[in-house]
């Protein structure tokens, strides 16, 4: 558990970065600090491991005041992941991961064995241990950064905008990987981001901060969306927060059968046709045609996002992003199992409202 008790940080020029912060991060959960630039979210995180000391107030980690612990000793017990990983360029990946265990007194063999195990845990092949950071992609470097932070098995993990420097596709994959890891290891994580969607996806609870270091609201993601505490939170979460609420509702929508065609087929149809490959993976759509036409690759229209049976948001997004207004549904291998209709998603939302799962 991490506790902020009336914590204030005032810099020498008089700037107040954090103002009377009261907040408790429950053990084994992810708390996300989110807010605009200059709101004190990174300063708050860095006060936990004493990279910055508070001006007043108390920060407790598992009941112990951080100011009572020697900073190097404190930091060896707290994992820390930053933007762009911050790896040592002259050390191999394996030695980067083994750094903290070695500093903590582990022998070299044990530290390197632990490092190799963690590379596998974060989804990197064992042979990557012999490479240097410059030989890795940005996403791979971030995975190494996470592995290094976990190497000494710290109970607390601080993550300062760790995924902001990678492209959106890699970023989504890293977010999913973090959630998978957390389900296995159950660390107490404080995560800083400026991206509200990332905060809502990752956080068990989200702390929305505003300029001047004030805590505007601290709540579960669904509560932030349904009941923002004030206009600042409402505006920061966004005017489409009703749509984001669908992220927290499991989809219970019918999946309709659809006849798919393949490249090379000849079709006669005045309706949209889904085109798949030999393994029934979707390739795109063929628009309605007059008469007969051969299905060729140059006729295909991109099909939008895919629905994998998850949330109402993903089901609705698949339907709305599809040129045919039919959301393509796939199984775990990516093969088409049918389609969902936007009307069915709205009916499921109405049912959820009636059941009290979302505010009406």
- Say if residue 152 is in the same domain as residue 48: yes
Residues of the chain with pLDDT under 70: 84-85, 356-360
What is the distance between the alpha carbons of residues 127 and 119, in angstroms, rounded to a whole number?
10
Q: Give residues with Cβ within 8 angstroms of 37, minimum separation 6.
A: 194
Q: How many domains does the chain have?
A: 2
The CATH number covering residue 186 comes to 3.40.50.300
Q: Is 20 exposed, middle or buried (0-12, 13-18, 19+ CB in 10 A)?
A: middle
Task: Based on the fold, state whether residues 201 and 349 are members of the same structural domain.
Answer: no
- Residue 84's Cβ-side half-sphere holds a number of Cα atoms within 13 Å equal to 5
* Residues 53 and 154 both lie in one domain: yes
**Residues 245 and 221 sit within 8 Å (Cβ to Cβ):** no
In whole angstroms, what separates CA 209 from the centre of its chain?
Answer: 19
Beta bridge partners of 60: 3, 65
pLDDT value for 360: 43
What is the extent of the structural domain holding 161? 2-238
The pLDDT, as a whole number, for residue 59 is 96
Judge whether 259 and 286 are in contact, CB under 8 Å: no
Residue (of 93, 81, 83) closest to 134 by Cα position: 93
Closest CA to 190 of 144, 156, 143, 164: 156
Instruction: Tell me, yes or no, whether 210 and 274 share the same domain.
Output: no
Whether pTM > 0.75 for this model: the answer is yes
CA distances from 166 to 12, 229, 306 (A): 34, 32, 22
């Amino acid at each position: 558990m991490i506790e902020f008790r009336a914590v204030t940080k005032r810099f020498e020029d008089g700037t107040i970065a954090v103002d009377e912060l009261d907040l408790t991060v429950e053990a084994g959960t992810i708390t996300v600090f989110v807010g605009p630039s200059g709101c004190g979210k990174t300063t708050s995180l860095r006060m936990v491991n004493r990279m910055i000391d508070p001006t007043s107030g108390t920060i407790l980690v598992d009941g112990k005041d951080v100011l009572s612990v020697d900073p190097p000793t404190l930091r060896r017990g707290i994992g820390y992941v930053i933007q762009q990983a911050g790896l040592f360029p002259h050390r191999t990946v394996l030695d980067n991961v083994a750094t903290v265990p070695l500093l903590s007194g582990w022998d070299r063999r044990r530290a390197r064995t632990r490092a190799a195990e963690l590379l596998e845990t974060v989804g990197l092949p064992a042979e990557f241990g012999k490479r240097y950071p410059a030989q890795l992609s940005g996403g791979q470097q971030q995975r190494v950064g996470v592995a290094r932070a976990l190497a000494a098995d710290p109970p607390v993990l601080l993550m300062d905008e760790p995924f902001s420097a990678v492209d959106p596709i890699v970023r989504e994959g890293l977010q999913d990987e973090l959630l998978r890891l957390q389900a296995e290891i159950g660390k107490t994580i404080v995560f800083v981001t400026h991206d509200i969607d990332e905060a809502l996806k990752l956080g068990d609870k989200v702390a929305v901060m505003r300029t001047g270091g004030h805590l505007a609201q601290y709540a579960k993601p669904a509560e932030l969306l349904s009941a923002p505490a004030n206009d600042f939170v409402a505006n920061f979460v966004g005017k489409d927060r009703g749509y984001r609420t669908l992220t927290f509702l499991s989809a219970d929508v019918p999946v309709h059968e659809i006849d798919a065609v393949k490249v090379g087929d000849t079709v006669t149809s005045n309706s949209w046709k889904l085109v798949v490959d030999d393994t029934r993976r979707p390739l795109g759509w063929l628009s309605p045609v007059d008469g007969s036409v051969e299905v060729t690759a140059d006729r295909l229209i991109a099909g939008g996002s895919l629905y994998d049976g998850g949330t109402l948001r993903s089901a609705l997004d698949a339907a709305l992003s599809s040129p045919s207004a039919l959301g393509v549904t796939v199984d775990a291998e990516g093969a088409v199992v049918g389609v969902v209709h936007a009307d069915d998603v709205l009916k499921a939302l109405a049912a959820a409202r009636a059941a009290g799962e979302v505010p009406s």
